[in-house]
Structure 1
Amino acid sequence: MVALAVLFIGVTILIMFSLRGARLDLTESKLYSLAPGTQRIVGSLDEPINLYFFFSQDASVQTAPLRTYAQRVREMLEEMAQRSGGKLRLSIIDPKPFSEEEDRAAEFGLSAMPLGTRGESLYFGLAGTNSTDGREIIGFFLPDKEEFLEYDVASLIYRLSNPKRPVVGLMSALQIDTSFDPASGRMREGWTSIAQLREQFEVRNVASTTEEIGEDIDVLMIVHPKDLAPRTLYAIDQFVMRGGKLAVFVDPLSENDMQDAGMGPMGAASRASTLGPLFEAWGVQYDPAQVLGDRELGLTVAMRQGEAPSQHIAIIGFNRGSMNPEDVVTSSLDSINVMTAGFLGRREGATIELEPLIQSSANAAPLAALQLAFMQDSRSLLDGFKATGERYIVAARVRGKLESAYPEGRPAAGETTTPETDTAPGAPHRTESADAANLIIVADTDILSDPLWVRTQNVFGQRVAMAWANNGDFLANALDNLTGSSDLISIRGRQSFFRPFTKVEELRRRADDRLRAKETELDRELKDTERKLSELEAGRGSQNALMFTPEQEAELERFQHERLRIRKDLRDVRRNLDVEIERLGTVLKVLNIALIPALLAIGAVALTIARRRRLRAGRAAVHTG
């Protein structure tokens, strides 16, 4: 027994040391495991990085959920430090009131959350430094942003290990940055996607009238290119020809473009954008006069205050099945929303490879942009809508050798075809791309705007954006990939925190189809009856103008009965919708609440019966012996 006890203790100690840090994550989205990108970032550090985790233990005694979240943050930081091979040095600090640790947290710029009425404050943040005195912080770990925890920390470490940020040139015809609004006399908030972009990259604004793209720009991002001059198009063309990376967002009907609204035909043409001659030369097909409609993925929205929500097939919510699982830009995303987007294709005879990143469902079809310009009711888009069965590409990656849209050289000022004999100083003209190009084209600009993917709220006096879709992640992923950084991509948007009830939505959509059919039937009956009444009225004599004939009375009575019948059918459709949804809920409740206990009970009964049989068989054997 003593030998067994010593052996047990020895094996336990051996397991503790040999399996230290071993974990088995059984969650569906691997919430408690480091992503491969995080492991590569912390495992490839060239110089030591110091992390200082500040958390007020005493001040958080009464906030159990926050302490639980802090424990998770600490465990993740410790695991990162363990996998860094000693390059990541972690310090756990409890900044007590009026202590040097509290002064140090304030010096880093960490935010303290006030608690209680006695002026107590709670620190819950992270600071990091590198060997060149670079500093990065996470001011406060908000529990609402738990799904972005690993990315935020890994991004902080990546920025400290790579202090030189890639340069992104930003050319836009929209007001996407914080700016002054002369109409209201107030500052206009910029888009969250662009603000986050400026935190990660060195973003330089490029004028829409530029005639030269600097060679120090790693990626050129173009948003809503409207009416660009030939020389500007040539500068973009030559930037791509010499190996520059391009991310372009065009739109057939930009909802955020309010400049000169209504000046084009039916108010739509002035809100469209394209890189027409460049797309044509590069083999990309895009029609700025057509908008994509998707009956399956169209979102249910209220267009005006007080209006009942209805499906808008031109405001599309793409799910994981709509995105390319084999491309690093979209493989880990769950949902992306667009509004009045266009679609892309490969021109006939083009040699490029057009790799879809985001696609519609098969229940989609093109719509005329003019149809949406002055649309009053989104349900009118369903009238006559017929899906083509084709999946349309909204965002794509373009690969391959490209030919210049200006093979004869830079166009003269004010001309579209006449070339000049001289080219830009120090930049020889190229008729084709130096290497295989790698571009990302998106047929929507509203994808970057806040209403489609974030909601903002005030936290401790600061404006904080809470993401409910992956639009911003898509933009960051795309530029990460184009700049050559792919480690952070595998971390961002790894898990889904929003689970739509797809079966319920399918039931609602099916009932809505039946409802619209009944509404159409009612309208047809009404028009037929009014036509017959008009015919009877025309055939009636003038002396009986104030009296109804028996035929008219019969027609009116029939119409009233028909109207009552159809309205009853409409009520039945709505009632059947609720019944089907309630039936589905009941089935799920039975499965979740009753099925498992029933299986356990059956298993227990079966085990008891089997045990009794073994006991009886044993007793019979003993008796026989």
Structure 2
Amino acid sequence: MTKSRLAQCPIKLMKNKFVITLLIISGIVLLNIAASFIFFRLDLTEEKRYSLSDATQSLLENLSTKDSTDVFVKVYLDGDELPGGFERLKRAVTETLEEFKVYGGTNVNYKFINPNAEGDTKKREEFYVELAKKGMNPTRVVDTKNGRQIENIIFPYALVSAGGREVPVLLLKGTQGKTAEEKLNQSYENVEYELATAIRKLTLKERKKIGLLAEFTKLKPLNFSDVIASLQERYDLFIIDAKNSPTFQGLDALILPKPDFPVDDSTKYKIDQFVMSGGRALFFIDGLKVDSVGLEGNFAQPLELNMTDLLFKYGIRINSNIIKDGASCAMIPLVIGDLGDKPNIQPVPYRYFPLINNFGKSLITNNLDLIFGRYVASIDTVRADGINKIPLLMTSPYTKVLNAPAFVTFNDARAETDQAEYQGGIKTIAYLLEGKFQSLYKNRLLPNDPKFADFKSESLPTKIIVCSDGDLIVNEVSQKTGNPLPLGYDKTTQHTFGNKDFVMNAIDYLIDENGVIRARGKEIKLRPLDKLRSRDERTYWQILNLGLPVVVVFIFGFILQLWRKRTYIAD
């Protein structure tokens, strides 16, 4: 190669570099200009963990500062020494709120607050009390750091405020019986739903109408106070006077809670035509009537409610029996002997109170805590063309079914569980039915009947839920204070089970199946390391992860050097 050509090579190379650099800068500028007009985000994770549901996006985009619906979220899950799992939960909350800001814009703001930041002990404790008054109680977590145990006081809560109101949101929600890692993972999955539900509750302008058909139960409104209060936060709730209401039209959903008296034919017809018009309904009906129960016992008798034929037509039969669950049941306090001169009272498993931890695949039951059941019956499905039957709540496989009349006694709790007696298999106690239902009164009305003109023999596409435990929707009342206890609260363990979440999720799904409830479908998979391989092959993987990138860089540099020599340096 001549000297003139060698001299031209650096000049030509500099020109090429200048052109390439200019093209790159121009491309970046054009990309930023385009990005200011075109909005898009890519979520490359398998579970789409960074993507919000369409309903949540719509909720946030419709927020309006003019209507005082700007949202502010205070997150109290913060601190310098959060355990690893809580740090991951905090990161999930941060990422979710960042996504909320993308769609909500200036109408959504948030702030993390460390409840333990105050150095003065007295002021810090006063702050704890202030949070507790708002319904945010601390969680004490013992963690190991630098060989010593540290107790952390953590508030896994967020406080969502809008329009002069505020709602506390529990961020740590998991199923009993799961490992700590699984509970935290369930909490990550629920972050979007919990925060979006709180925002919807505070900013909702059009409220759905729910009817409570309570005149057929002997229980007082106080026994439904928790679910009534929860429903009134989100919906317009009406206590229905069935006899004086010509129809139930105008309602979005109807609830029949634990009936003790037969439903009259007129009301049954109104329920049927409400469903035929596309109305949504929830039935909480017992299979047997259980009155007083003592150590000596009592017989549970069949419960005639005049609803069997209606539910049968819809594809469901509630059996006249009681299920005993030998594997998963609640505890009751019982005298098991004497302790000196005093009775020895201990909690013992009571198999008539199953704890439901077997759920069907549905948004209603996803990441739900255990359900506290009392004297539940089994449900069978029967043929109903066009109806999709989805099981929601199921017992463990170790069951025993007692048919009516069933002898029920508290003394049963003292007996040991004999596995040979509990071979009944899994029993379903709640079903979701979807489709076009056939009216019970089809081909029964004559043309001259006054009802015939408005009669509907087949429903619009709709949904109903049938549960064979009337007590699932009933809260107990404190004997000391006379105040209602939370729905699902167990006085023996002082744990609140997931009964209210089930009821509220069911209502949300029935009347707004494409709404925020869709956020409950998010699933984040746990991908734990293989403990045995990570222990036995630790050195191999360390060398591979640390050495391989270095080797790749050296190989790339060597190939680049060869290419430069062949391209720009003469032989």
| TM category, shorter | 0.5 to 0.7
Q: Alignment partner of 2:406: what SS?
A: helix
The answer on whether the counterparts of 2:321 and 2:406 sit within 8 Å (CA) in structure 1 is: no
CA distance in 2, matches of 1:607, 1:234: 70
Q: CA deviation at 1:490?
A: 2.1
Quick one: structure 1 residues 388 and 46, their matched pair in 2 at CA, closer, same or farther if it must change by over 3 Å?
Answer: same
2:435 corresponding residue in structure 1? 399
**Which residue identity is paired with 2:59?**
I
1:524 is aligned to none
Amino acid at match of 2:507: L
- Write the distance in 1 (CA, Å) between the matches of 2:71 and 2:64: 19
What aligned pairs does 1:82-93 form with structure 2 within 5 A after superposition? 82-84=102-104, 86=105, 89-91=107-109
Q: How far off is 1:226 after superposition? A: 2.7
Which residue number corresponds to residue 53 of structure 1? 72
Between the two proteins, the alignment pairs up a number of residues equal to 453
How big is each residue's C-alpha offset from its partner over 1:196-218, in whole Å with a ceiling of 9 and x where there is no partner? 22212111112465553332211
Does the residue aligned with 2:364 lie in a helix, a strand or coil?
Answer: coil
Q: Is the 8 A contact 2:210 2:238 kept in 1?
A: yes
Q: 2:285 matched to which residue of 1?
A: 250
1:440 aligns with 2:465: yes
Partner of 1:301: 331
Give 2:310's aligned amino acid.
L
Does the residue aligned with 2:377 lie in a helix, a strand or coil? coil
Letter in 2 for 1:351: D
Residues in 2 aligned to 1:392 and 1:169: alpha-carbon distance in whole angstroms:
26
Cα 1:609–1:144 shift into 2, 3 Å: closer
What SS class does the counterpart of residue 225 from structure 1 fall into?
A: coil
Q: CA deviation at 1:475?
A: 1.9
User: TM-score, length-normalised on structure 1?
Assistant: 0.56
Amino acid of the structure 2 residue aligned with 1:39: Q
2:217 and 2:97 map into 1 onto residues whose CA distance is 40
1:478 to 506, 524, 529: 506
Q: Which residue number in structure 2 is paired with residue 268 of structure 1?
A: 300
- Partner Cα separation in structure 2 for residue 431 and residue 240 of structure 1: 10
Distance 1:376 1:363, change over 3 A: closer
Instruction: For 2:57, give the aligned amino acid.
Output: Q
In structure 2, what is the equivalent of residue 81 of structure 1?
101
Match of 1:117 among 118, 122, 139: 122
Amino acid at match of 1:158: R
The whole-number CA distance in structure 1 between the counterparts of 2:546 and 2:449 is 96
Q: Which amino acid aligns with 1:250?
A: I
User: Is 1:238 the equivalent of 2:273?
Assistant: yes
In the aligned structure 1, how far is the partner of 2:260 from the partner of 2:170?
Answer: 40
RMSD of Structure 2 on Structure 1 (CA): 5.5
Q: Give a deviation string over 1:151-177, Cα, whole Å, max 9, x none.
A: 343124434664111101011355777
TM alignment of 1:201-212, pairs within 5 A:
201-207=235-241, 209=243, 212=246
Amino acid at match of 2:536: A
Letter in 2 for 1:292: I
Shift of 1:221: 0.8
Does structure 1 conserve the Cα–Cα contact (< 8 Å) formed by 2:283 and 2:465? yes
Q: CA deviation at 1:55?
A: 4.8
Q: Where does the alignment leave 5 or more consecutive residues of structure 1 unmatched? A: 96-112, 130-134, 180-187, 411-418, 458-464, 500-587, 612-625
Q: Does 1:167 align with 2:209?
A: yes
Q: Distance in 2 between matches of 1:373 and 1:51?
A: 55
1:22-33 correspondence runs (5 A): none
Which deviations, in whole Å up to 9, do the C-alpha atoms of 1:224-278 show, x marking residues without a partner?
Answer: 22322232223323322333222111112477xx6x889xx94423777561232
8 Å CA contact 1:221, 1:247 repeated in 2? yes
Checking the alignment, whether the CA contact within 8 Å between 1:52 and 1:128 is kept in structure 2 is yes
Give the partner amino acid of 2:256.
I
In 2, Cα distance between equivalents of 1:603 and 1:15 = 43
Distance in 1 (alpha carbons) for counterparts of 2:58 and 2:547: 55
Question: Which has the larger strand fraction?
Answer: 2
Give yes or no for the alignment of 1:385 onto 2:421: yes
Picking from 195, 206, 213, the partner of 1:153 is: 195
Would the aligned equivalents of 1:395 and 1:440 in 2 still touch at CA under 8 Å?
yes
Q: CA deviation at 1:374?
A: 2.7
Sort the Cα spacing of 1:292 and 1:79 in 2 relative to 1 into closer, same or farther, 3 A: same
User: Once structures 1 and 2 are overlaid, which stretch shifts more, 159-168 or 273-282?
Assistant: 273-282
Q: What's 1:286 paired with?
A: 318
Does the 8 Å contact 2:308/2:317 carry over to 1?
Answer: no
Within 2, Cα distance between the matches of 1:21 and 1:254? 58
SS of 2:435 mapped into structure 1: strand
Distance 2:330 2:545 in 1: 52
- Distance in 1, Cα, partners of 2:30 & 2:546: 37
Letter in 2 for 1:117: K
SS of 2:230's partner is helix
Partner of 1:104: none
Looking at structure 1, the residues matched to 196 and 119 of structure 2 have their Cα atoms a distance apart, in angstroms, of: 28
Q: Contact 1:176–1:194 (CA<8 Å) still a contact in 2?
A: no
In structure 2, the CA distance between the partners of 1:482 and 1:428, relative to structure 1 (3 Å rule), is farther
Task: Decide whether aligned partners of structure 1 residues 436 and 78 sit closer, same or farther in structure 2, where only a CA change above 3 A counts.
Answer: closer
What is the match of residue 482 of structure 2? none
Between Structure 1 and Structure 2, which shows a larger proportion of helix residues? 1
- Aligned-partner Cα distance in 2 for 1:192–1:15: 57
Matched, 1:198 2:232: yes
Comparing both chains, which one has the higher relative contact order based on Cα–Cα distances under 8 Å and sequence gaps of 6 or more?
Answer: 2
The CA distance in 2 between the partners of 1:33 and 1:90, in whole Å, is 17
Give, as a single letter, the amino acid of the residue that structure 1 aligns with 2:438. Answer: L
Per the alignment, do residues 354 and 114 of structure 1 end up closer, same or farther by CA in structure 2, a change over 3 Å counting? farther
> Structure 2: how far apart are the matches of 1:383 and 1:70?
44
Instruction: Please list the CA deviations of residues 425-455 of structure 1 after superposition, one character each: whole Å capped at 9, or x if unmatched.
Output: xx94526234345322111123334589755
One-letter identity of the residue aligned with 2:60:
V
Q: How does 1:357-506 map to 2 (within 5 A)?
A: 357-358=391-392, 359-360=394-395, 364=399, 366-378=401-413, 379=415, 382=418, 385=421, 387=423, 392=428, 394-405=430-441, 408=444, 422-423=450-451, 428=453, 430=455, 432-449=457-474, 454-455=488-489, 468-469=497-498, 471-492=499-520
Offset, 1:404: 2.8
2:517 is paired with a residue whose SS is: helix
Q: What residue identity is the alignment partner of 2:255?
A: M
Change in CA separation of 1:277 and 1:439 when aligned onto 2, cut-off 3 Å: same
Kindly report which structure 2 residues correspond to 1:300-379, keeping only aligned pairs within 5 A, or say none. Answer: 301-302=331-332, 304=334, 306-307=345-346, 309-310=348-349, 312=351, 315-319=354-358, 322-323=359-360, 325=361, 327-330=362-365, 333=368, 335-347=370-382, 350-351=384-385, 353-358=387-392, 359-360=394-395, 364=399, 366-378=401-413, 379=415
Q: Give the secondary structure class of the aligned counterpart of 2:59.
A: helix
Three-state SS of the structure 1 residue aligned to 2:159 is: strand
Q: Which residue of 1 aligns with 2:59?
A: 41
Supply the distance in 2 between the matched residues of 1:253 and 1:114 (Cα, whole angstroms).
Answer: 59
Match in the other structure for 1:215: 249
Q: How much has 1:16 moved relative to structure 2?
A: 12
CA distance in 2, matches of 1:230, 1:341: 26
Q: Distance in 2 between matches of 1:67 and 1:389?
A: 41
Does the 8 Å contact 2:169/2:198 carry over to 1?
no
Q: Secondary structure at the match of 1:221?
A: strand
Does the CA contact (< 8 Å) of 2:277 and 2:456 recur in 1?
A: no
Which whole-Å CA distance do the structure 1 matches of 2:203 and 2:273 have between them? Answer: 33
Closer/same/farther in 2, CA of residues 156 and 10 from structure 1, 3 Å limit: farther
Deviations 1:572-606 (A, max 9, x none): xxxxxxxxxxxxxxxx99x74x7524312244579
* Distance in structure 1 (CA, Å) of the matches to 2:545 and 2:461: 67
CA contact 1:352–1:402 (8 Å) conserved in 2: no
Query: Which region of structure 1 is more displaced relative to structure 2, 354-363 or 236-245?
Result: 354-363
Q: Does the aligned pair in 2 maintain the 1:223–1:249 contact within 8 Å?
A: yes
If the length of structure 2 is used for normalisation, what is the TM-score? Answer: 0.61
Structure whose alpha-carbon radius of gyration is higher:
1
1:117 partner SS: helix
- CA distance in structure 2 between the aligned counterparts of 1:118 and 1:284, rounded to whole angstroms: 58
- Structure 2: stretches of 5+ with no match in the other structure: 1-13, 132-157, 174-186, 336-344, 477-485, 551-571
